[in-house]
């Protein structure tokens, strides 16, 4: 049962209010601890999904960030963080009704300022505002995060022993364990006095696409390309089974969910397994979707390609064009999905051309896709939009009078 379903709603109000109050009174560390603890209680006692922890973490972190601002500003930003996180996810269970964080924020706004000053003073006494006690406070946060990590890990193992939709819960717990462990490692780095300056990305990535929908302009292909983190860029194409709105909905589910999970800190393989199990659990007709995922490290130029039933990816360097293929079943067909990836070291000026099956199937007499390699090789432009449009035009020409499949071309140029 997810948020807003009626079960445990008072607990949700209380948990959100405590998270906001602790974050505003004690800073980011207190907000994270209060948010994680409150969310775990909700997960274990009221039946909420494990991913609700992400909402509380976002709220606690935001309240801590704005702890030096006015209580109204902190309350508004807290509500915004909780609600925005719910809107960008494709899991209905993760959605928090607006009145829950807004109510917690309203109660916070009604607390007289003198009491909030006293709360801040109490937190300040606890920390003692000394370097030693600040370090001690961080060590306590690390310890708390480590305990949360162990809890998530144990719960993941527990739910992982069962089949059916409980395996999705297991993957969510496993993902939360990874996110928590990442937070803990960052705090440990600070504890050990590690200092660093943010490394500047060496590569800029210029990306553009061309798409063609077979039915009324609606394509069964879905795609996204965006920054996954400060130094990693992601490009994703998913081809849903069939054509039109049904196929578009299927591929959109895979794309949005996968990008949200990776962006929130999930390991890529774990995120892929989670989406695969979601597709397996869909009621009604079977849902199949290919996944073609490229992750580009903008610091070192390393490219990771994950292909789940997807078409070949083409890499152009100078006048040379190479096709990267991997044999795998699409998502949503079998449990225990086998996931592998290919590493490619990129250089400035390299071009990455990702396509859906509709493009590769344009010329059925050339299974080696030499026609497509030659088309890419002959393009002199370095502009990704021009490259994508020209490849799309060649694919349409190759189809001739035959019925055309949904087609997508995404070109990334490293600069």
Distance of CA 351 to the CA centre of its chain: 25
* Distances in whole angstroms, Cα of residue 136 to Cα of each of 16, 29, 69, 148, 164: 26, 12, 25, 18, 44
Residue pLDDT, tens place only, 174-188: 666 666 666 666 666
SS3 373: helix
* Residue 11, burial from CB neighbour count under 10 angstroms (0-12, 13-18, 19+): middle
* Distances in whole angstroms, Cα of residue 244 to Cα of each of 218, 240, 247, 251, 310: 5, 9, 6, 11, 19
Neighbours of 198 (CB within 10 A): 7
Tokens of 335: 């449990």
- Cα(155)–Cα(149) distance, integer angstroms: 10
| pLDDT on residue 333 | 75
Neighbours of 122 (CB within 10 A): 12
Task: Give the domains, in start order, of the chain with CATH numbers.
Answer: 9-191 (no CATH), 205-414 (3.60.40.10)
Neighbours of 96 (CB within 10 A): 23
- Cα(71)–Cα(77) distance, integer angstroms: 10
The answer to whether residues 363 and 371 touch, using CB atoms and an 8 Å cutoff, is yes
Neighbours of 13 (CB within 10 A): 16
pLDDT < 50 stretches in the chain: 1-9, 89-90, 129-132, 155, 158-159, 161-164, 191, 193-197
Q: At what angle do helices 166-191 and 131-160 cross, to 10 degrees?
A: 160
- Cα(175)–Cα(261) distance, integer angstroms: 8
Residue 218 DSSP class = B
* Residue 134, burial from CB neighbour count under 10 angstroms (0-12, 13-18, 19+): middle
The answer to whether residues 228 and 262 touch, using CB atoms and an 8 Å cutoff, is yes
State the sign of the Cα–Cα–Cα–Cα dihedral 275, 276, 278, 282: positive
| pLDDT on residue 169 | 60
pTM: 0.62
| pLDDT on residue 132 | 44
Q: Which residues contact 159 (CB under 8 A, 6 or more apart)?
A: 166, 167, 169, 170, 173
| pLDDT on residue 392 | 93
Residue pLDDT, tens place only, 396-405: 998 887 777 7
Q: Cα 301–304–309 angle (5° rounding)?
A: 150
Tokens of 243: 């054509």
* Nearest residue to 37 via CA among 144, 122, 126, 183: 144
The answer to whether residues 32 and 142 touch, using CB atoms and an 8 Å cutoff, is no
| pLDDT on residue 2 | 45
Maximum separation of any 2 CA atoms in the chain, in Å? 79
Q: Cα 217–221–227 angle (5° rounding)?
A: 115
Q: Which residues pair with 295 in a beta bridge?
A: 234, 304
First-to-final CA distance of the chain: 47
Q: Cα 265–229–249 angle (5° rounding)?
A: 70
SS3 238: strand
| pLDDT on residue 131 | 44
């Amino acid at each position: 049962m997810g948020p807003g379903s009626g079960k445990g709603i008072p607990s949700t109000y209380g948990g959100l209010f405590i998270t906001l109050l602790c974050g505003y009174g004690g800073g980011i560390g207190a907000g994270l601890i209060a948010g994680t603890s409150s969310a775990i209680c909700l997960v274990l006692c009221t039946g909420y999904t494990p991913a609700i922890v992400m909402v509380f973490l976002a709220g606690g972190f935001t309240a801590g960030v704005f702890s030096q601002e006015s209580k109204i500003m902190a309350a508004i930003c807290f509500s915004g963080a909780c609600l925005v996180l719910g809107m960008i996810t494709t899991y209905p269970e993760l959605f928090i009704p607006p009145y829950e964080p807004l109510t917690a924020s309203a109660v916070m706004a009604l607390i007289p300022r003198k009491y909030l000053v006293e709360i801040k003073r109490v937190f300040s006494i606890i920390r003692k505002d000394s370097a030693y006690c600040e370090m001690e406070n961080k060590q306590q946060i690390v310890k708390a995060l480590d305990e949360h990590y162990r809890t998530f890990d144990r719960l993941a193992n527990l739910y992982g022993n069962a089949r059916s939709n409980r395996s999705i819960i297991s993957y969510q717990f496993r993902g939360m364990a990874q996110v928590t462990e990442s937070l803990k490692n960052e705090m440990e780095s600070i504890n050990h006095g590690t200092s660093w300056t943010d490394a500047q990305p060496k590569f800029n990535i210029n990306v553009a696409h061309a798409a063609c929908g077979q039915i009324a302009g609606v394509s069964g292909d879905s795609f996204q390309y965006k920054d996954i983190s400060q130094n990693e860029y992601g490009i994703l194409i998913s081809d849903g089974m069939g054509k039109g709105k049904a196929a578009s909905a299927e591929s959109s589910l895979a794309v949005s969910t996968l990008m949200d999970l990776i962006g929130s800190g999930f390991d890529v393989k774990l995120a892929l397994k989670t989406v695969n199990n979601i597709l397996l659990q869909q009621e009604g007709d079977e849902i199949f979707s290919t996944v073609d995922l490229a992750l580009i490290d903008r610091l070192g130029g390393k490219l990771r390609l994950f292909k789940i039933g997807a078409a070949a990816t083409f890499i152009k360097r100078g006048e040379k064009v190479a096709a990267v293929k991997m044999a795998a079943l699409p998502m949503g067909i079998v449990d225990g999905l086998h996931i592998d990836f290919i590493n490619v070291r990129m250089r400035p000026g390299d071009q990455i051309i990702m396509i859906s099956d509709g493009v590769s199937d344009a010329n059925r007499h050339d299974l080696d896709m030499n026609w497509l390699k030659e088309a890419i090789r002959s393009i002199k432009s370095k502009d990704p939009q021009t490259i994508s449009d020209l490849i799309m035009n060649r694919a349409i020409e190759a189809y001739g009078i035959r019925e055309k499949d949904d087609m997508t071309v995404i070109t990334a140029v490293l600069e």
